[in-house]
Structure 1
Amino acid sequence: MISKLKITKYILAFALMISSGSALSVTGVALVHGTGAQTNAYDDYWESGMVESIRLGLADSNNLLVVNCDFEEYMWDAASSGCLATQLYNFINARNIDDLVVITHSNGGNVMRWILSNPTWDSRYPTIINSVRWVNAIGTTSAGTPLADAVMSGNVFEASLGWLLGYQSDAVRMQQTSWMDYYNTNWLLGTAGRPTLPVGFWNIVGSDVETAVWDSDSYCGGYTLNLGLEITKAWLNSCADGFVDCTSQNAAGSLWFYDTTYTAGGEPLSHNQSRRQCFNLDVILRNDL
């Protein structure tokens, strides 16, 4: 079943296609990772099964980009949004993409939202914005996460979060809840009381973490990683994916769906599982192309 909001996505896209005469648009997809300095996000962040399943939704399988950038920096930094802009811009021009679907995860949503919110910051931004159909944002930290506050406080909790969030990098500092509130108020579009984003920003919200040893679903994406998220969930609201509260995941743009609404078996998606081939998420994203 397709949600009413998702139907709205299709109606808007069809209207745009008719009005612009773009019936022969060249569709592409870009996968944008979260916090971390990635050099092989294909294998290390998304994993091949997820990427190749999504690729099946493209008419031209070559029109897929897996971004690798240093998202340990502030979102406006050259190594962060500058790197993302370079890779998106080059991909769009090399493949003649004029219908780009961006799939992003976690802090990658903030970096992508920086580009969408600040079109005059970089001469490449308008080309990127004009080429984007919409962004599918999974588990984004749009309003920050209390876990970033815990890391920056320098307490013992920091050590248990290094594997998940990294240590006291600028990207972690940026994702503190008060800092994201400032950015959302002054620099970023799409949150309550702010102008809307120039393209759709559709949220997939992960609502829980399951780690029952007898349940095979708890092992999707790696049991140890899910167990770590089960522990960190204690610092979050009851509705959270182990890394970010549901309210933060849906703070910018529009809700597409909560995980259990469409996943196979109504399974929740932990923050780790929402970037992996778990519970038909890959098929949902593929069909959205």
Structure 2
Amino acid sequence: MLRTAFALSLAAASCAAHAATATTGVAFVHGTGSQTDAYNDYWQAPMITTVRQGLVNPANVVVVNCDFTQYMWDSRAAGCLAGQLKSFIDSRGITDLVVITHSNGGNVMRWILSNPTYDSRYPAIVSKVRWVNALAPSSAGTPLADAVMAGNVFESALGWLLGYKNDAVRQQQTSWMAYYNQNNLYGTSGRPALPKGFWSVIGSDVVSAVWNSDAYCGGYSQSVGLEITQNWLSSCSDGFIDCRSAAAAGSVWFYDTARTGGKVLNHNQSRRACFGLDTLLRNDL
């Protein structure tokens, strides 16, 4: 209801002239990892193809490729993201930008929203953002980052998604994120609100049984890996992020089962066209 009320108030505040002339664009911002082809390797075509159908001009999409193995403020992370968003906004004349992030991408985007004086490009980006749809954000970190940094043996199950002992993993340790949330980032409890909406989609469980077809969406081996790592998390988690971490910043848009016909979204599935998530994001435009 909060999301709906926000949308209605936004619509009421917009005059007809603006609605007729606004140029809407979508930016897909990946999570931890160094990406050179996030379209194919991270999001995949079915997700992006469906979402872009919600735009008046389906060409107004950018898929970001940056080095998110770095700390969120690093020039190769937030700096790279700012450069690609600013170029997209300028080249396409975007006046209304919806940002779709996944996992640690939410932290990098939140850094930009929280620190507008850090980079001269940030204010122009923030002014164009309608809101951020944060899919499974690691807003309060994850115990798995602590375990990886400690050298736990199960880290091999996370290599495809998290990586090993890089600065982004170090940053997502729970105590480190608690410090950043208290001192450097907005949107969490007791901190100033973010200047634009930050709406979280939260995955609540992992299905990996070989006989359950739900386990195969996005890749069966990934579902099995996340079932293993879920043992280090609370009962409400997507195999990588506890629900309380995903809900720590901004506002909750929805928990998976509330909008997917009762299906859960593991951490891998929340970046893929699984159980109607792509259609929900399309319709949100």
Q: Report how far residue 19 of structure 1 moved.
A: 9.4
Q: Report how far residue 218 of structure 1 moved.
A: 1.1
Gaps spanning 5+ residues in structure 2: where? none
Q: Report how far residue 161 of structure 1 moved.
A: 2.6
**1:31, 1:183 → 2: CA distance?**
24
Root-mean-square deviation (CA, aligned residues, Å) is 1.2
Q: Which residue of 1 aligns with 2:27?
A: 30
Q: Which residue of 2 aligns with 1:229?
A: 226
Structure-to-structure mapping, 1:125-164, within 5 angstroms: 125-164=122-161
Structure-to-structure mapping, 1:53-72, within 5 angstroms: 53-72=50-69
**1:171, 1:283 → 2: CA distance?**
30
Q: Does 1:194 align with 2:194?
A: no
Q: Report how far residue 46 of structure 1 moved.
A: 0.3
Q: Which residue of 1 aligns with 2:39?
A: 42
**1:222, 1:13 → 2: CA distance?**
38
Moved over 3 A (4+): 19-23
Q: Report how far residue 262 of structure 1 moved.
A: 0.4
Count of residues in correspondence between the two structures: 285
CA contact (8 A) 1:208 1:268 kept: yes
Q: State which of 270, 281, 284 in structure 2 corresponds to 1:285.
A: 281
Percentage identity across paired residues of the two chains: 64
How does the TM-score come out when normalised to structure 1?
Answer: 0.96
Q: Report how far residue 13 of structure 1 moved.
A: 2.0
Instruction: State the Cα deviation string for residues 51-97 of structure 1 (Å, max 9, x = none).
Output: 10101011001100100000000000000000000000000011110
Q: Which residue of 2 aligns with 1:179?
A: 176
Q: Report how far residue 22 of structure 1 moved.
A: 4.8
Q: Report how far residue 8 of structure 1 moved.
A: 1.7
**1:85, 1:77 → 2: CA distance?**
11
**1:69, 1:163 → 2: CA distance?**
17
CA contact (8 A) 2:23 2:95 kept: yes
Q: 1:41 to 1:254 in 2, by over 3 A?
A: same
How does the TM-score come out when normalised to structure 2?
Answer: 0.98
Q: 1:215 to 1:157 in 2, by over 3 A?
A: closer
Q: State which of 224, 232, 242 in structure 2 corresponds to 1:245.
A: 242
